[in-house]
Amino acid sequence: MLLAERPDGVGRILGLVDQDLFIPVLTYVFGEAQLGGTVAVASTFRLREPWAAGGATSAVLEARLVKTALHELGHTFGLRHCLHPRCVMTSAAGLEMLDEKVPAFCLACQGQLRAERIGA
């Protein structure tokens, strides 16, 4: 649906939803994107910790959403999961891992993004 709505001249679209997301091989995901595609989606559902007392603060939710959005958009630029534990492109199996990431690409991922841009 987002792909069909992408206006001419727009390189990428990031959809933000508050619904729970899952894929056939995982019971939930924070977001999803097609590798090298033009559309990504991120969900606040699992980022809010609704099952925890009081849920996430707005600052924590914002930090988690920024990292999730960067991660999913990174996939649209051809980046795969990174082994650097604090890189935004590392796979996060849970909120603790997501919280440990920094909202930035590591040097190796930055190099891949630059190479992708030069090759475009």
pTM for the model: 0.85
Q: Which of 62, 72, 96, 116 is the catalytic position?
A: 72
CATH architecture of 2-119: 3-Layer(aba) Sandwich (3.40)
Choice among 6-15, 39-48, 87-96, 109-118 with the minimum mean pLDDT: 6-15
pLDDT of res. 93 = 87
Are the C-beta atoms of residues 90 and 97 closer than 8 Å to each other? Answer: yes
Q: Where are the domains of the chain?
A: 2-119
For the segment 61-82, the average pLDDT, to the nearest whole number, is: 96
Q: Please report, for residues 46, 47, 63, 100, 116, the alpha-carbon distance to residue 95 in angstroms, rounded to integers and kept in the order given.
A: 8, 7, 11, 9, 30
pLDDT higher than threshold 70 for residue 4: no
pLDDT higher than threshold 80 for residue 14: yes
pLDDT of res. 52 = 54
Q: Is 100 a catalytic residue?
A: no
Average pLDDT over all residues of the chain? 87
